[in-house]
Chains A and B, each alone.
Chain A
């Protein structure tokens, strides 16, 4: 017996399959996640990392380098957090193995565990009948009776653990091969190439349907005002427009009004400023036109809702019509369906387990007393109290 107790593999197995160890690991993961709510987490390097770092440095001062070294600014990406998840996965795999074996062998009565304790006076047969009515299974042993809820009560923890492992697997796939791009601004008829591979996202010509490449998922975070612009001269010739100094001139511009925007009509020496009156997609716009040089204002008006207007000045007609923009988040997650299946299994398993928690205990009759061993559910105590 002492040799069996001292067997390190047995101790390790018992620790790894213990509910308390899993509970402690879950608590450590919870603490790590709570840290992310208190300590600002680093954005991806291309998203204004320098500004974020200066803000963090102002808040934490000299402790910033130490905190960065420990990985507190990237908790979920840190070695410690991943180690916790790996340990949790390992424990779940071992518990799953043990649970599957228990389910397989649960058909037969097992040896009683723990000490026998007096439960109540009375007839064992009546109590067993009541327990059977409550969907307990009873298996006769040599001098005792095993009571449990095999196989369903053993199945729900297995489903829960399988679900948890599948969720962790899905999150790993997402971490390894998934990506997400935030804050993409597009207008109708536009199609943007994404940095990752051959993926793209776009809006149809009506601006109503968000389209994307297969495997990607697009989500419209918000909509805002925007216009399409065209300019013609007095002879009906279309003039070319330029949004920035580096941009190629074109005969029709799409302008997303995330802020005040300017564009030039180089052939007519005009600069036009567009200022939305609100952030609503069909907001009225203030349109100001300047002669360049010398920069004098030659037109200033506020349009109707959506920016629809036609403005003529010095022989040039500007036509504006609404083209609201959408700000989109696009992601690709190879573990999407894996995670979804895992979540369904996990939630289903937990709810089933909560409704019918697994239990196994043993009952026997000795000198007019009912004795019990194992984990007797409180409902059985209550029933005996009522009796």
Chain B
């Protein structure tokens, strides 16, 4: 087990602790404990981001000196993308509200992603080196999916609270995704003369479908919160699948 796997495992355990505390503080109506949950979640986010950046960064020639300390980066492909998504899915900041068990739902997407990443890392493919390296498209998709998962957490929380209006916007992940998809399409058009050629058909169809689902979610932003929540869920899951598959 490499130092990176230990670091990512530590991040996961910290996140689980944070979710546990958030749930407990909500059920027992303890606002101070809710802040402890926030701190635990932020710590988990920092550890996970650090782990991902070290793993990806140590492949750069300028950061060769890191390798003796952290070992050869043996985690690649979906594993690291999932960890980055989990780190970005952890909500940081935001408006402080009265403790409620539903607050724990904010962390559910991050927890699920971190669990998927841990399963991958501890599975048969987790410890083996993979030739797939990080590409700008893969990295951008992972960032979009992570931020999208954070929006999903907000949607889950509001649906549990039974709000009358859907107040989660998903503006940031949708803006980023639109920029990424638009730029990739323009580059493809300029280089190859066609939109989205030269990309794995599975990734191509997945990215287009995920962007369309996010667009549908944005168009239906004034719809009933449950309908909007379902749309957000579909859009986020699609984006996570595509980002895990890689660009």
The answer to whether A166 has its CB under 8 Å from any CB of chain B is no
Shortest Cβ distance from B234 into chain A, in angstroms? 8
Q: Does A17 contact B (CB under 8 A)?
A: no
> Chain B residue with minimal CB distance to A357?
B221
Interface of A: prevailing SS: helix
**Min distance, Cβ B170 to any Cβ of chain A, angstroms:** 10
Number of residues on chain B facing chain A (CB within 8 A): 39
Please tell me if the beta carbons of B205 and A329 are within 8 angstroms of each other in the complex.
Answer: no
A22 to B219, CA, bound (A): 8
Tell me if A350 and B178 are in contact (CB < 8 A).
yes
The complex places the Cα of A219 from the Cα of B193 at a distance, in Å, of 9
The verdict on A221 contacting B202 (CB below 8 Å), with A30-B216, A336-B189, A378-B165 known, is no
Q: Is B186 part of the contact surface with A, judged by Cβ < 8 Å?
A: yes
Answer whether residue B212 sits at the interface, using C-beta atoms and an 8 A cutoff.
Answer: yes
Q: In the complex, are the beta carbons of A354 and B171 less than 8 A apart?
A: yes
Question: Is the CB of A344 closer than 8 A to any CB of chain B?
Answer: yes
Please tell me if A301 contacts chain B, counting CB pairs below 8 Å: no
Q: How far is the CA of A332 from the CA of B206 in the complex (A)?
A: 25
In whole angstroms, how far apart are the Cα atoms of A69 and B225 in the complex?
Answer: 39
Q: Would A329 and B198 count as touching, CB distance under 8 A?
A: yes
For window 209-247 of B, CB contacts with A under 8 Å fall at 209-210, 212-213, 215-220, 222-223, 231, 234, 238
**Complex alpha-carbon distance, A347 and B189, angstroms:** 15
Given contacts A19-B220, A33-B212, 13 further A-B contacts (CB under 8 A): A26-B212, A27-B213, A29-B212, A34-B205, A37-B209, A180-B193, A219-B192, A331-B194, A331-B197, A336-B189, A344-B186, A351-B179, A354-B218
A309 to chain B, nearest CB (A): 32
18 CB-based A-B contacts, threshold 8 Å: A20-B223, A22-B216, A23-B216, A23-B219, A26-B216, A26-B219, A27-B213, A27-B234, A30-B210, A33-B206, A180-B193, A217-B191, A329-B197, A333-B189, A343-B189, A351-B179, A354-B174, A378-B165
Could you say which interface size class chain A belongs to?
Answer: 35 or more
Bound form: Cα–Cα A184–B83 in Å: 40
Residues of B within 8 A of A27 (CB): 212-213, 216, 231, 234
A350 CA / B202 CA spacing, docked (Å): 25
- Binary CB contact string for chain A from 344 to 356 against chain B (1 if under 8 A, 0 otherwise): 1011001100100
- A217 CA to B216 CA in the complex, in Å? 34
What residues on B are CB-neighbors of A346 within 8 Å?
Answer: 182
